[in-house]
Amino acid sequence: MARPRFQEDGWLRVEGRRWRLTYRDSSGKRTTVSLGPAYRDYDKDAKGKFRPIGPVLNRAGLKASQARAVARELYLSKVDRTTGPVLTVGEFWRTKYLPWAETAGTPRASTLAVYQSIWTSWLEPVIGGTSLRSVTLEHAETVISDVRRAGLSDSTVKLAKAVGSAVFSRALNLEFFEKRNPFHRLRLGEHRPVRERFPLTAEQARQLLATVDDQRRPMVMTALLTGMNAAELAGLKGSDIDLAGGRIEVRRQWIDGTGYGPLKTKNRHRDIPLAARGREVLEPLVTDPDSPVFPGQTPGIPCCMESARKRHLRPAGEALGLPGNLGWHIFRHTFATWLQSAIVRDFDIEALMGHAQRTITRRVYTHEDFDRLRQAIESIAGNLAQPAARGKIIEFRRPA
């Protein structure tokens, strides 16, 4: 049975033996108050017996008309409705969600920075100016459709859904929103893969190293020999590179616009053996323990990896005839494929890549294990030491 609404944002019902009023106050928060006992009358039935009429056995209680009058006089008339919608989704994001997320630490700072980017690019244009209470499943579907039409990956689509779900879950917890979370009801459909990514062959890697400029060559070499992603490369400091011990300690990442932050997951905390060729490349760059290994134009700030990709990697890939837009992530695919070709165990590859290990308990490497992995990476580095062939690459070989 529908609840008897009698004024905007207010409704009455009987719970137990009392009248309850639920309404939204001037701040938009949903509030429930008790108005008093409910009235119940008696009348004769077909057999002449007196039967109770009304919700509660209480002749001293309020009738429905009296309860409505009390609700208007004491509560609903005092709600300020002159300012229009109580809160838009954008206002709730800025005043309620972000301050809470930054204080509570959930999601973590690096993830929250991604949330803010997704919000600015995809959610705010669609629902930022919409009243929080007016958002429906159709609005959520519009957000996802916009991301799909832009040709972005499934990961970005899932992130857009996650941001919307987080905002409305918070609104539900604060009782600013009373319907079902519209982003929880989304169905994302079938998986739509992004463009295929292929590992580079040794010859393609050598030609690429010979093509990029001197400033970017150490970054490309380090990415090929370690499998680190762009944020981890930018987050490298001098103290993270142990030249004497021949290892790189991956402990942080750099997010443009945010700064240094924790790694994506705990599994990303790892030590990677450093080949002799890698030590030769990095040794001139390790000058200060607290300075970035790959600095940008601003002192103390790492190189912008996205700018380097657009201005250097992509033109070099096009000049060599590599299909698609060459990016930093292709080097992670290359590193993992080369390790597999060097007959490195899957467990070791997962550890070096920083992937989650679901089948085997994570362990600490012994010196023998580390030396064995270093030999495999040395063999990879040996392929890059050969001279590069001249001319444009014709065939981009796919892995078997």
How far is residue 113's CA from residue 122's CA, in Å, rounded to a whole number?
14
Q: DSSP per residue over 277-300, as a string?
A: HHHHHHGGG---TTSBSSB-SSTT
* pLDDT confidence of residue 334: 92
Question: Splitting the chain (400 residues) into consecutive groups of 10 residues, what average pLDDT does each group show?
Answer: 46 80 76 81 61 54 82 79 66 93 85 90 93 89 90 86 94 84 86 66 91 92 94 94 92 85 85 92 92 91 91 90 82 91 84 70 55 85 70 41
Same domain (yes/no): 126, 224: no
Q: Is residue 255 part of a domain?
A: yes
Residue found under tokens 């669609």: 126
Cβ-based burial of 296 (10 A; exposed 0-12, middle 13-18, buried ≥19): middle
Residue 56's pLDDT is what? 47
pLDDT of residue 41: 58
Tokens of 155: 């990961």
**Are residues 72 and 150 located together in one domain of the fold?**
no
Give the CATH number, domain containing residue 350: 1.10.443.10
Same domain, 218 and 340: yes
CB 141 within 8 A of CB 155: no
Would you state the pLDDT for residue 4?
42
The pLDDT assigned to 161 comes to: 94
Domain count, the chain: 3
pLDDT at 57: 47
DSSP percent split of the chain into helix, strand, coil, nearest 5? 45, 15, 40
Task: Classify residue 390 by its DSSP letter.
Answer: P
Q: Which domain holds residue 41?
A: 5-78
Does the pTM of the predicted model rise above 0.75?
A: no
Same domain (yes/no): 269, 378:
yes
Which among 78, 101, 128 is the end of a domain? Answer: 78
- Note the pLDDT tens digit of each residue in 179-234: 889 999 888 876 555 555 678 989 999 999 999 999 899 999 999 999 999 999 99
Helix (H) / strand (E) containing 112: helix 109-118
Distances (CA, A) of 19 to 4, 22, 30, 74, 357: 12, 10, 17, 14, 56
Q: What's the start-to-end Cα distance of the chain, in Å?
A: 64
Q: Examine the domain organization and report whether 366 and 232 are in the same domain.
A: yes
Residue 99: predicted pLDDT: 93
179 within a domain of the structure (yes/no): no
| Domain final position from 78, 108, 124 | 78
Residues 211 and 346 in one domain: yes
State both tokens at 274.
């450093």
Q: Are residues 61 and 119 in the same domain?
A: no
pLDDT given for residue 69 in this prediction = 85
Last residue of a domain, one of 57, 78, 99: 78
